[in-house]
Structure 1
């Protein structure tokens, strides 16, 4: 089968603008004509292999960036937005969405932002109507979605913060046992902060005037280490976090403040699981989450989340998707470096094994799955319980999902014993019912928004309609 042609004009144009070079000078460095460069930047021609090599030679460009997954994410988000009934009279083919994501990414993001604002306004109006008759109603604030989109579109990898965390881990000696003591010593020696532990109160509390950092004894050792590394991020690298936030240009202070917590958390995870050491260990153990958690004194959730962030230019890991859901099926964390993109609104597909994890606690569940676009995945799921440490204290229960495309499965220990070549071994899953095109799904909860329905009063099947 011939290799597919690479159309990456947007990435090429982005590189040229980042270098602040006019088209003529850029074309000259690459040894091509100005009209030819213009055709490539407008995706009228594919990027030839010779030009890829020239990019690497002349500008040290990581060629993996040419096939990075942002256009796929944008197309998936646009497809979901256009499934809204407000666009019912204007169907847009996927080919047009691909062109928009590749050639006009700024316009695509503007459309996504516009729809998000429309949706928020609609929800607030509905909430206001409800509040007239009943107190206590409300909607999710926009700042959380803004922050989610920030991490979503930077591929869940923030290079400057990741590298700073890796340097800190080496300087603080976090590569062996006794990390809690080393982190506490760092805070004491560099910032005069004393770490104390209490039985009641918040998981982490920093008193700036007293220079004390209180940690809850109820938290696990890995959570305590994460909290200490989080505080290091705020005290040692506040300027770096603020510069990253300036670059993000959030519309509200709430979004900025929320994202600062997210960046400090990112630093903490990257410090406890340093990039190069963790990537090497992941390859060595064939991505065995239990062994990685034991080696780095981390939780399974921390390890799974970290695997989904290994997207450093020139040293990329396997592209994973990572998701965390609660018992109601609500997605509380989501990221995908694969072609599988999660629904922005609503829950995940009920046929996905992540929902079954609550029924079989303490076990990794494996699933071979195929999405409507024909892409096949190896999916893992595991329940994660967070105890309350008291008889009447509530236990928080989540399930995490981690997976990759089947072409990477041989690098995972979890693929052992599975028949990856059997077509009937792959279960059909979707993204969410509202945009799923499958016509014969026995678990469909709502009809797809962009398909006409056929209602037959004399016939009833699993669902009371047929999808045209």
Structure 2
């Protein structure tokens, strides 16, 4: 039911909480108890002076009485119900607004728990990547194990007998003290390091991490008039290493060429007519398809421009660039999901791939993925073929006319971020067992 049609239910709930009788409230606002009864059972619409008088008598906010819970709370409850899947006791979605109006505290708790579960899932993905591939973490764990072994060995010597020279005994005690101090400091450093995973303060361990953090700080928008004055020189950017500066200059040079070949006005015109369709932009600007994908992913943020994610890999499948998108996780370390259209494009160079995919998560969301694999240099006789694949990701609800309705409403390809945190147990492309045991297939 529309929120405004539940005004009577809110009036009845407020009256009950205040301990007022229906006849007393009706008398105070100048209507009959029978008419108030019809209002409270949502059989009569109410507004104007009568609604103002009822809000005054009930000591209630006029907007809260007429509109009920705020829209984000109601939408949060609907999303939580949709994410529950095939539960044994399915949620009563048709009574979401009534529940939010009657029990706003519980409704807020449900939505908070939903957000918390989503944050935990993202953190598990980040921890998995870090535990499996971070060299710093490997060294830190090695140092901890070395300290534990040293303390254990020294303690074993001291416990072996009392015939140890006093001078050596003092040395052993000092060694245990120093090793235990190093162990405590190392453990504290490791805990602090793990606490930063998935946060804005997370350490940057590779030049690519530095470049992506730098791009994220400016919404990945380079090469346009809005960013030309402040981001023309990467030497002044907060990039610590020369390698990161080199990668940033390369990306900025590509963005500048793309912006020059595909001006912002032309891109907005294509978006208005075709939606975020990279093939339409490539045709309009007579540019390669991967350049059109880069251009759409590097647009300055605006309300009329849809969110766009981007991933690139080389011929080995290693991700060389990531622009994440809400609901579609791009692993920072390690191998990604082999079912991504990005890798399917590697099998058919120069052949465009478009696929509706469903990313696992809470909630499971659908996206449209566009991918193309193209040579990165001119082909020569007897020279190795070097290719690079690019994949652009757009939420299905923002794809608009770029996807036929039959394709958008049909079966989607289920994908994950990486095998270790993917719960699709029956996946034929699985490389290793999942840490998540729940099967969402």
Question: Please, what TM-score do these two structures have when normalized by structure 1?
Answer: 0.49
Pair 1:109 & 2:200 matched: yes
Give ranges in structure 1 of 5+ residues lacking alignment: 4-44, 50-70, 88-103, 118-141, 167-236, 454-465
User: Which position in structure 2 is the counterpart of 1:406?
Assistant: 396
* Aligned pairs (5 A) from 1:8-23: none
Aligned-residue CA RMSD (Å): 4.0
**SS of residue paired to 1:259:** helix
2:126 matched to which residue of 1?
A: 81
Q: Structure 1 residue aligned with 2:224, among 155, 159, 162?
A: 162
Structure 2: distance between partners of 1:106 and 1:364? 36
Change (3 A) 1:379 1:72: farther
> Structure 1 or 2: larger helix share?
2
* Cα contact 1:388–1:396 (8 A) shared by 2: no
**C-alpha deviation, 1:306, in angstroms:** 0.9
TM-superposition CA deviations, 1:200-259 (whole Å, max 9, x none): xxxxxxxxxxxxxxxxxxxxxxxxxxxxxxxxxxxxx7x8523x654x422334433442
Pairing of 1:92-103 with structure 2 (within 5 A): none
Q: Write the distance in 2 (CA, Å) between the matches of 1:433 and 1:363.
A: 27
Give secondary structure in 1 for the equivalent of 2:322: strand
CA distance in 1, matches of 2:197, 2:126: 16
Q: Residue 312 in 1 paired to residue 376 in 2? A: no
Distance in 2 between residues matched to 1:240 and 1:443, nearest whole Å: 42
> Partner of 2:259: helix, strand, or coil?
helix
2:426 is the alignment partner of 1:381:
no
The answer on 1:303 being equivalent to 2:292 is yes
Distance 1:281 1:431, change over 3 A: same
Distance 1:146 1:398, change over 3 A: same
- Cα deviation, 1:84-132, whole Å, max 9, x if unaligned, reads 4499xxxxxxxxxxxxxxxx9999222x21xx54xxxxxxxxxxxxxxx
Distance between the aligned counterparts of 1:275 and 1:48, measured in 2? 33
For the pair 1:321 / 2:321, whether they are aligned, the reply is no
Look at both structures and tell me which one has the larger radius of gyration over its CA atoms.
2
- 2:224 aligns to what SS in structure 1? helix
SS at match of 1:108: coil
SS at the partner of 2:239? Answer: coil
Corresponding residue for residue 17 of structure 1? none
Encode CA deviations 1:354-408: one digit per residue, 9 max, x unaligned: 2222333443323221111111112222222345342122322222222211212
Are the structure 2 counterparts of residues 245 and 48 from structure 1 closer, same or farther at C-alpha, using a change threshold of 3 Å? farther
Task: Kindly indicate whether the alpha-carbon contact (under 8 Å) linking 1:388 and 1:394 is maintained by their aligned counterparts in 2.
Answer: no
Shift of 1:340: 1.0
Distance 2:394 2:245 in 1: 31
Contact 1:301 1:400 survives alignment (8 Å):
yes
Are 1:427 and 2:417 matched, yes or no?
no
Query: Secondary structure of 1:418's partner?
Result: helix
Going from structure 1 to structure 2, the CA distance change for 1:365 and 1:256 (only over 3 Å counts) comes to closer
1:452 shift after superposition: 7.5
Normalised by the length of structure 2, the TM-score is: 0.52
Instruction: Say which SS state the counterpart of residue 245 (structure 2) adopts.
Output: helix
Correspondence for 1:289: 278
Structure 1 residue 74: Cα displacement: 8.9
Residues 325 and 398 in structure 1, CA contact (< 8 A), matched pair in contact too: yes
Aligned twin of 1:170: none
Q: Give the 5 Å matches for 1:194-343.
A: 240-242=231-233, 246=236, 248-313=237-302, 315-343=303-331
